Chain A
Amino acid sequence: MISLNTTTPQLPLIGVGLRHIHYNDALSARANIDFIEVHAENFFTEGGATYQVITDIAANYPISLHATSLGLGSAVPAPEQQLNQLLALVDRTDPILVSDHACFSWAELSSASTHAGDLLPVPFNEESLACMANNVLRAQALLKRTILVENLSAYIQLPGSTYSESEFLVKLCELTGCKLLIDINNLMVNATNHHLLEPNGEKIDTKEFAKQWLNSIPKNMVGEFHLAGCTAVPENDFMIDDHSQPVSDDAWQVYKFALERFGPVPTLIEWDENLPSWTTLLKEADKARHIATKVFSREVREV
């Protein structure tokens, strides 16, 4: 006799990113999602409407805090106050996940610590690795938890890399115990732009690139997937990761591959520009759940 547990697939937690126009939708009725991700800096206020929103959201949904400004690869480390504000938000919302990016955002400009307001790429070498590892360890020590570090979409290739991106990130995980937030769309964007970044670069198969990249990551190092879509561009223009479209068919296929490789990893739908209705956003989450159900039901049957 087969028990119920052996036939019920374990599905990943599926969430959506929360943006301002959806605050009321998210709060008016509990949506069929497992968590909500917010950009941490949008809720650093000490009071007022946004403070109330995050309090209400956290009371209704598990939260993932996605920071965008620590600049974990910055040689000029983030100010103590910034980490303390993130800590206060962590204490207030008790998130299931906390993440930021494998980028630099802080640097000295005319002797002042200056912020780029963006996620800037780092070269993949020993010096960057040591710097990023220090910053990740500092954040983890203060937050008293493991954080996730997200791969970037990058529009320039900095000189001085001695590792591939995936080798670099794996080493970062080994040094710090952090896990990876793999943004599948970032992989696709980097693959699409590959020929514009490499000298005499040729176009590559984006899905194959993404799958190879994923295959180079150990199975236990992944803590979350991000899925998004971006605006199509003409052949020799840079594709920009603008999070303005539904997830592409290619990205869904790579997502299926990723689930097969890494198991039921929490998955988030991001949509930041050209925002759709809340219902459309939730439908994207349903698609992710549908794919995961197919992947893991099949695995259960195969067992």
Chain B
Amino acid sequence: MLKESQSTFMQTLYSPEKMSQDTGFGIYQRSLIANAARALSITFSTVHSYVGNAEFTKLVRAYLYVYPKTQYDWGEYGDKFATFISTQPVSHAMILAEIAKLDFACHQAERSADIVNDIETLSLLSSEDPYHLHFQFNAGLTLLSSHLPIDIIKQLVSQRVTEDKITNVNDISNILHEVSNTYEQSNENKAPYYFVIWRPDMQANYEQITQGEFVWLSVLKNRKDKVQISIGEALDRITDETFSLVDWLPNAISNRLICGITLK
């Protein structure tokens, strides 16, 4: 009986049509929305800054009723928020959805387990069989593809906000409108943009990469029987002639995308 009554309580809590304004129950309903909006404004900080708190809370409220919280930790909530935004009647939904994908990946990277930097092990590359060597990636390495250059869009908005001293969301919306004209409409049949997200220290980094690098990292991240595949095996699988390990490696080391090599 307790189980059923708690289930009924939860059902009412997550029912927008049963929203109560003047009873004690309404306090719980409003609290749920406020807690969710606060948590997701941290996870999706860029989206929040682009649309402002009122619009963001509206999006979160709608999201909550479609995707109730099944995680106990608010920090893990919101994995479908980006896709959800793309379906919503909000200005620049497609751009916001792509930005949300990057926000979520960065947030997850910042919560991921620390990795010990063991850069001296890179010397193994010159002495050991690559079929026994595995790259040790830095914390939170994630790959993302998008039909928009989200890094450039973020940079452009940030630059305009600083230069024009923009403080209100209407002006940001105007910038997004320009961005939309530039990229969305001219990009229908273009190849996607690829990104890598990782955390070298405390903050997540992201960077646009080539399709060849994207495939390379995807292959390396692939796990066979829970074991990451070796550098030798990954090289065998790469058919993209534009990818060059010799070009990629120094950059990956200096960016601290990789922080060591393990010998197995």
Task: Tell me if A199 counts as interface (CB < 8 A to partner B).
Answer: no
Main secondary structure of the interface of A (DSSP, over half): mixed
Point out the residue from B27, B68, B72 that lies within 8 Å of A41, measured CB to CB: B72
Partner-binding segment picked from A11-19, A110-118, A208-216, A293-301: A110-118
Nearest residue in A to B111 (C-beta to C-beta)?
A45
Task: Tell me if A131 counts as interface (CB < 8 A to partner B).
Answer: yes
A114→B115 CA distance, assembly (Å): 32
Given A69-B73, A76-B3, A109-B68; A155-B113 close (CB under 8 Å): no
* Number of A interface residues in the complex (CB < 8 A): 48
Within the complex, the shortest CB–CB distance from A233 to chain B, in Å, comes to: 11
Given A82-B72, A240-B27; A109-B10 close (CB under 8 Å): yes
B1 to chain A: which residues have CB within 8 Å? Answer: 127
Q: Which of A150-193 contact B (CB under 8 A)?
A: 154-156, 158, 160, 193
Task: Tell me if A52 counts as interface (CB < 8 A to partner B).
Answer: yes
Q: Which of A55-93 contact B (CB under 8 A)?
A: 69-70, 74-76, 78-79, 82, 85
A70→B6 CA distance, assembly (Å): 15
Q: Which of A27-49 contact B (CB under 8 A)?
A: 41, 44-49
A96→B68 CA distance, assembly (Å): 34
A240 to chain B: which residues have CB within 8 Å? Answer: 27
Given A47-B111, A48-B139, A69-B73; A114-B68 close (CB under 8 Å): yes
Contact A115 B69 (CB under 8 A): yes
B112 to chain A: which residues have CB within 8 Å? Answer: 45-48
Given A49-B110, A69-B72; A155-B7 close (CB under 8 Å): no
A46→B199 CA distance, assembly (Å): 13
B75 to chain A: which residues have CB within 8 Å? Answer: 41, 44-45
11 CB contacts below 8 A, A to B, read: A45-B111, A105-B72, A107-B3, A108-B3, A116-B69, A117-B74, A118-B28, A128-B2, A155-B28, A156-B23, A197-B24
Given A41-B72, A112-B68; A117-B32 close (CB under 8 Å): yes
Contacts A48-B110, A115-B69 aside, 18 further interface pairs with beta carbons under 8 A come to A44-B73, A47-B114, A47-B115, A52-B202, A69-B73, A75-B3, A76-B6, A109-B68, A114-B70, A115-B70, A116-B32, A117-B32, A118-B32, A128-B2, A156-B24, A238-B24, A238-B27, A240-B27
- Max chain A Cβ within 10 angstroms of own Cβ: one of B6, B13, B23, B73: B6
- Max chain A Cβ within 10 angstroms of own Cβ: one of B32, B72, B115, B203: B72
Task: Tell me if B49 counts as interface (CB < 8 A to partner A).
Answer: no
B25 to chain A: which residues have CB within 8 Å? Answer: 155-156
Point out the residue from B35, B113, B139 that lies within 8 Å of A117, measured CB to CB: B35
Nearest residue in B to A117 (C-beta to C-beta)?
B35
Contact B6 A107 (CB under 8 A): yes
Interface residues of B, Cβ cutoff 8 Å to A: 1-3, 5-7, 9-11, 13-14, 23-25, 27-28, 31-32, 35-36, 39, 68-75, 110-115, 139, 199, 202-203
Nearest residue in A to B4 (C-beta to C-beta)?
A75
Nearest residue in B to A158 (C-beta to C-beta)?
B5
A131 to chain B: which residues have CB within 8 Å? Answer: 2
A240→B27 CA distance, assembly (Å): 8
Contact A48 B199 (CB under 8 A): yes
Task: Tell me if A104 counts as interface (CB < 8 A to partner B).
Answer: yes
B139 to chain A: which residues have CB within 8 Å? Answer: 47-48
A116→B6 CA distance, assembly (Å): 10
A41→B23 CA distance, assembly (Å): 29
Contact B114 A46 (CB under 8 A): yes
Within the complex, the shortest CB–CB distance from B244 to chain A, in Å, comes to: 32
Within the complex, the shortest CB–CB distance from A23 to chain B, in Å, comes to: 12
Given A47-B113, A47-B114, A48-B110; A118-B2 close (CB under 8 Å): no
A112→B69 CA distance, assembly (Å): 10
Task: Tell me if A120 counts as interface (CB < 8 A to partner B).
Answer: yes
Contact with B along A207-248 (1 / 0, CB 8 A): 000000000000000000000000000000010100000000
- In order of increasing CB-CB distance, the 4 nearest A-B pairs are A155-B24, A47-B114, A75-B3, A46-B113
A136→B28 CA distance, assembly (Å): 24
A82→B35 CA distance, assembly (Å): 19
Contact B72 A118 (CB under 8 A): no
Contact A127 B24 (CB under 8 A): no
A52 to chain B: which residues have CB within 8 Å? Answer: 202
Point out the residue from A46, A108, A118, A158 that lies within 8 Å of B35, measured CB to CB: A118
Within the complex, the shortest CB–CB distance from A240 to chain B, in Å, comes to: 6
A49 to chain B: which residues have CB within 8 Å? Answer: 110, 202-203
Point out the residue from B39, B70, B111 that lies within 8 Å of A46, measured CB to CB: B111
Within the complex, the shortest CB–CB distance from A128 to chain B, in Å, comes to: 6
A190→B14 CA distance, assembly (Å): 24
Contact B24 A41 (CB under 8 A): no
A76→B23 CA distance, assembly (Å): 26
A47→B10 CA distance, assembly (Å): 33
